[in-house]
Structure 1
């Protein structure tokens, strides 16, 4: 069920009635839904210091998020992969670009939200590609946004790096007309997050049954993120209130400007250690030191133009929508990666990994912790020609969508019966084009491009000086390069995907019972182009093509029982699918004859399919609140895994025929055993108005999810959780809203999730460790149209950690620091 954008009432004032009224409307929509879903208003989410949609949805029951450079990036709902989460804007697909299917919600500013709908058990009128669930971002309608000018201006500060941030939004809405009504809305928003980030990475090597440390790497980041959005909308409602037409345009832009200053100290010969060394303490007999600078400037743009309406004719209802969308990811030309290196073949280095987060490295000959640029002259490091590059890349998607939904009132055995039917057509063109050029000559000396700003990650690793970005980039034009055929062709592809869907469903009301059932059919056709190299990309590859089509059916049944005025019981059966990623559908093959290896995409990869059962009880409090408890189980067939196997002679890989048996293939396959997801979700969201004054302003916004997953890695048969799905997610916020004051302290926690499966054995799984984040917000209404806003993020200075196998083998540790802001919200 998708709410029309006009159904979301938005009230900007932050006094208690504003927030509670808006959330009460959201809970009424959740209560009236035919299926299992969560609805949260922008006023509820706006009480958190969230700069992106990804940060906002992490507050909702059953939703976990992946993080990139400390910021929420994509959402995971009841499953292991963000690509299993469908993301829509007012019911229409949000465009994205790249090789995957997940939508980078971290790129979207939270200012576009009016409400968020999380659907966990889809009905037949919804797209089926939602094995996890669907996130529908509801934007503001021009007739209900409230007239006048409103917005905010909130400057901020990043503790790590001492950089300035800001968030700004300006919105204008007007309704005019007497009998028929016209609405206009325009909104523009922009936010900037500018900070530094500390990073430390280690790697280990299995020797004689022990995981021996062989590399320490520190990365000092300069990171600037900009998120912008433009919204335009026109609504028309005729005098009979039976015909509503609208058109809307949404533009979003995300700019990621990132410099990475890396120092690597590694064992010169990874297989050799001085006698007596072990996993915690020992000596490397020789050392290699590298200093690296990576310069990235990525821009992502989205356009979504939508038109549609809803009309009623003697009880018969027709809803119709169409959209054109375009998304583009651009890696700006000339982005560079430079590495300088020196080998110390006979200089011993002592290591101590007793603290896996912060190992200690000491040169054995003088007792000093090595510091590149401090203890070692920069000019002693030489530029590594042939391994450094300049890069540019464009990823693009263009899509068209047409959708029609119809509803007719009938009767069934003297019971009210609604017949619903309709269809949808989606056409998507996805392309990826990368060019990479290897540097062959012309690089400056290291001392010429360093700044006077030191690297000292976590105040523990004084490893030299950062690059001076402006000086380094001034040398780019003087570099001599040649094209890397492998990097420039292996990731290029073009794919056209067409999906035609139709559904029929019925709704029966019998006293307190409401039953919704039906089936959806989706026919999928894909045509793809890629490249095949028979000589390990030594020469220009051969163009390849592939096409396929298939049809799936998705039945569902949803039962709702109103046990009392406040208690709702639900049961659902639903089905869904997850199509292969665009990257896995490209007909690309890479052959290395010398090594006798093949890397190939699997053109016959089947979509993963799921069936789910849900039970839920919801108790709605007066005046505002809900207490809910739900359990569910899901079975997923044909899960996609990376896989390696030995091939037979004569196997055909898009025109390359293996000459003999024994070659090794790396590809993606469907798992041969079903994965399962079982879980429990609980929510307590209540304004505690029954307490005596002044405590009647207190309230609780909280939820907990327990999700247990099991899958089987095809290569080893090892049982493993589905990647990126934490077993426990927990949100708890206590707030106070009374008179002009609104304040909230919120905690979000996720337990560990798998980042990758390594070689398929449990001891080599790579885990993101558990992490909790504490945030605080406060708002004080100075006047009826002016509110003071204060926010603080990551108050506990939470860090992110990845480890291999167990907590003693930490591979990555990241530190992001706290953020603070103070500003104003206004309405005129």
Structure 2
């Protein structure tokens, strides 16, 4: 090195270097290329098409409305190429002037089209078959999160609109079911409360009044969303710094349809009817209503209108849908005495047989309105309005046969046939479940783009309410509280140890078809469960694209989210005694005309007189109460316990505020893309609780107190818990959540994707504070744990994906989640829990949640394959197949973790005919931590077919659970015996539809 130069002062050297560019010839300012990518065959603008400048490698990905922007582009003649799986590459040559903007649009042509032509004849079919798969692949290839994206019509028609029925076909997804209907979904082996559900990236309110006493109160219930207004669904295994960190299992983002994604007007409608395999005829019959017959074929419909106005400045999409279905379920539960003696060596003897028959009407209405307005080329505003309403009416009619003491149960093989003890009994308890849910969501937003700068704002108000009201909605009391006929001897027989075709014949005792044989306990006039969640959020994000050294996209933003939750359950305050009825036979004159039926499992009941079992008429009892209320007395229970449970223990208020900010950068260099980010979240909580007076203060005021320190009279309970303003328990904590991802193109069609994110699961309020929740029906006590800490998780994921034409992929995804302070909910006996009382709770199970020790690893492996097989020849040009396998593993035992799952599907179109089938298989899964009870492996098959009458009209039929496969639970007993404990038969659900598209 020249020593003179080395001695120059550093400021002089810096100035000299800064002057060098000025001494060089002036460089022309780079230009910009903008445009749109469209698909004329479907009338849609294409998102996620890759547009590249061949000479320099400058690339962009088309966004909403098919729009793309290339910058910086060297002035002169350049060649653009567009690639999109399943379509032919498109190219164009443009001349770019220095500092100027050039517009170049592209129209894609399907690879199925003849050379030089466009595919038009089967536009509707193409959109629903190949287009959905192509969209998914391109979205996954361009996402920096490890995702699965699916178009909303990928698995056939879903007139009911249940998002969970759609998600069950994806790898890594497990279901939480209610009589065969999907209520919540689980990802990666974690519970539903570990998954965040958003709409267009914004969190939604969702509440289930039935979850007020469980740790799943944060779970999103699928009743509160409709698939019909969604364009696609994104399931992300990893998350970036620009989304909320409350998603250890991942996120499910519902992407709404947008008018600017389509070219011009589109109107579509569907008229459908649904039917259930148990009621396929057209006759009107009783049930679920006891007072009037009804037909079980139920009508529904979908209407959608989309258009753009004002020279494509205003775009509107309106979607209306209503689903009405009739379904049935029959649940058989069995319990055993597994303690043989020398006098009775039989390994298992049945003690109770419980049958719950649950016909139901299920109605859903949903409407979604999205409007987007371009104020200028740079500025646009928009709003989304979403309303969902759900109405479930299901009288769950239960009959319980109690066999009596083991020694007096006769039968050499009682698992097949036995005669009960003379002290046997029969309980009947119809429960009227009328559950409503309503959610309103308002989503204003704006976006500003100028050059390399983008600013977006998203705001949300979402209000969700869930409540039960059989008396007001269907003029029916809630339940009759298990009237019982005692000293009944019956014979029970079935065909095999795993079958549920039990046939009961009464042998002796009071006639079980006569209501005079049954007791008349207090009944519950109405259901009082209620829940509400209100959520406000607002966020401002800025995106800046820089190109110094390497192209980098910087994104930063701030957000505030406030959530209010309210749960109430005053059901026990609605307990009444019927005074003229006495203790037995009070409902003898109020027999339901709707006969009890075990025919779904080919079973039956025959009383001494040859009749069916008695079942109280809940509607008639409600009419009696309204006509003569003075004949009823309110029952507050022992020591006013029903008052305490209704107005103290089961009332909760909770407030949570989360403020956050983040910074994230995404850099691209040849085939390598890197993203790193850091998110901060500060959490403030406030729980409202009763300010309880101590026992000494009660005694001083003259109120009696029990050994537990609680007042034993209603005035005393009011004085102890309700006479002072409620106290507020507050908490504050904050966390940092780093995240990173790397995507590298190993070859043109082979991508390696690595991801890391840090997440949190905040405990539900019911897990932290409050009083014990005693369930006298399930014989459980739910106990809070004030020492429970939030869970934090470090999530690692890797995906290797090979993409091939036409429209196919083969991918393997590995994930590991290191969860610290894992919430573990277990069922303990009173002795294991440490309960020292001497009351009836000694026979209850205690349910509580605690933090697991140290750090626990959970792992998953997912294989997935899907492909269009058109390369096999003309006969297979519209055949597509898919398959997936998931392996889930937890370092410690976890209930309801399915170790193996698999799914697959076939979709084939020949001329005007289309048919498809989808199947899902789940392995045996333990339902308790000890592994003594498990749900048996199960295969579910759904299928459908369609006939295209014309380019505008089509007919379709679909069936769910084609093979009528039940859900079976088994128990492992000492000595190696395994016996059936639960069987849930749900039948088949059929839908027939006529659709028009213009």
Task: State the TM bucket, normalised to the shorter chain.
Answer: 0.7 to 0.9
Is 2:145 aligned against 1:35? yes
1:710 is matched with which residue? 891
Q: How far does residue 5 in structure 1 lie from its aligned partner after superposition?
A: 9.8
1:308 is matched with which residue? 445
1:425 is matched with which residue? 560
Deviation digits for residues 675-720 of structure 1 (CA, Å, limit 9, x no counterpart): 3222211111111110111222111132221112232xxxxxxxx1
Aligned length: 787
Quick one: distance in 1 between partners of 2:350 and 2:201?
50
Quick one: distance in 2 between partners of 1:363 and 1:156?
36
Alignment of 1:654-733 (within 5 A): 667-711=848-892, 720=893, 722-733=894-905
Deviation digits for residues 581-605 of structure 1 (CA, Å, limit 9, x no counterpart): 232244335799xxxx996422332
CA distance 1:589–1:294, change in 2 (3 Å): closer
2:113 is matched with which residue? none
CA distance 1:775–1:599, change in 2 (3 Å): closer
Partner SS state of residue 153, structure 2:
helix
Task: Report the TM-score when normalising by structure 1.
Answer: 0.87
CA distance 1:675–1:782, change in 2 (3 Å): same
Quick one: distance in 1 between partners of 2:403 and 2:805?
65
CA distance 1:384–1:768, change in 2 (3 Å): farther
Q: How far does residue 393 in structure 1 lie from its aligned partner after superposition?
A: 2.4
Partner SS state of residue 130, structure 1:
coil
805-814 vs 583-592, which moves further = 583-592
CA distance 1:232–1:631, change in 2 (3 Å): same
Quick one: distance in 2 between partners of 1:665 and 1:60?
35
Is 2:750 aligned against 1:750? no
1:770 is matched with which residue? 937
Deviation digits for residues 299-320 of structure 1 (CA, Å, limit 9, x no counterpart): 0011110011222233121121
Please identify which structure carries the higher helix content: 2
Choose which of 636, 646, 660 in structure 2 pairs with 1:501. 660
Q: How far does residue 164 in structure 1 lie from its aligned partner after superposition?
A: 0.8
Deviation digits for residues 441-492 of structure 1 (CA, Å, limit 9, x no counterpart): 1565245232153422412133536655643442342454345224413221
Quick one: distance in 2 between partners of 1:418 and 1:169?
41
Deviation digits for residues 534-575 of structure 1 (CA, Å, limit 9, x no counterpart): 438764362554221211221111100012221111111222
Quick one: distance in 1 between partners of 2:338 and 2:687?
40
Quick one: distance in 2 between partners of 1:258 and 1:612?
41
Partner SS state of residue 978, structure 2:
coil
2:379 is matched with which residue? 243
Alignment of 1:108-257 (within 5 A): 108-145=225-262, 147-162=265-280, 163-178=296-311, 181-207=313-339, 212-238=349-375, 240=377, 242-257=378-393
Q: How far does residue 399 in structure 1 lie from its aligned partner after superposition?
A: 0.8
Structure 2 alignment gaps of length 5 or more: 1-46, 49-60, 68-119, 281-295, 342-346, 472-476, 606-611, 637-641, 693-707, 835-844
Q: How far does residue 379 in structure 1 lie from its aligned partner after superposition?
A: 2.5
Q: How far does residue 177 in structure 1 lie from its aligned partner after superposition?
A: 2.1
Quick one: distance in 2 between partners of 1:392 and 1:217?
25
CA contact (8 A) 1:627 1:683 kept: yes
Partner SS state of residue 20, structure 1:
helix
Partner SS state of residue 512, structure 2:
coil
Partner SS state of residue 134, structure 2:
helix
Quick one: distance in 2 between partners of 1:297 and 1:94?
24
Deviation digits for residues 69-92 of structure 1 (CA, Å, limit 9, x no counterpart): 111221110023111111111111
Task: Report the TM-score when normalising by structure 2.
Answer: 0.73
- In angstroms, what is the RMSD of aligned CA positions? 3.4
Q: How far does residue 646 in structure 1 lie from its aligned partner after superposition?
A: 9.7
CA contact (8 A) 2:157 2:958 kept: no
CA distance 1:409–1:377, change in 2 (3 Å): closer
1:448 is matched with which residue? 590
Q: How far does residue 129 in structure 1 lie from its aligned partner after superposition?
A: 0.9
Please identify which structure carries the higher strand content: 1
Is 2:475 aligned against 1:337? no
Q: How far does residue 355 in structure 1 lie from its aligned partner after superposition?
A: 0.8
CA contact (8 A) 2:245 2:759 kept: yes
Deviation digits for residues 26-58 of structure 1 (CA, Å, limit 9, x no counterpart): 321211001200111123144567641010011
Quick one: distance in 2 between partners of 1:666 and 1:149?
52
Quick one: distance in 1 between partners of 2:277 and 2:622?
27
Is 2:642 aligned against 1:459? no
Partner SS state of residue 690, structure 1:
helix
CA distance 1:391–1:51, change in 2 (3 Å): same
Choose which of 796, 799, 805 in structure 1 pairs with 2:963. 796
Higher relative contact order (CA 8 A, sep 6+): 1
Is 2:687 aligned against 1:528? yes
1:566 is matched with which residue? 749
Partner SS state of residue 244, structure 2:
coil
Partner SS state of residue 111, structure 1:
helix
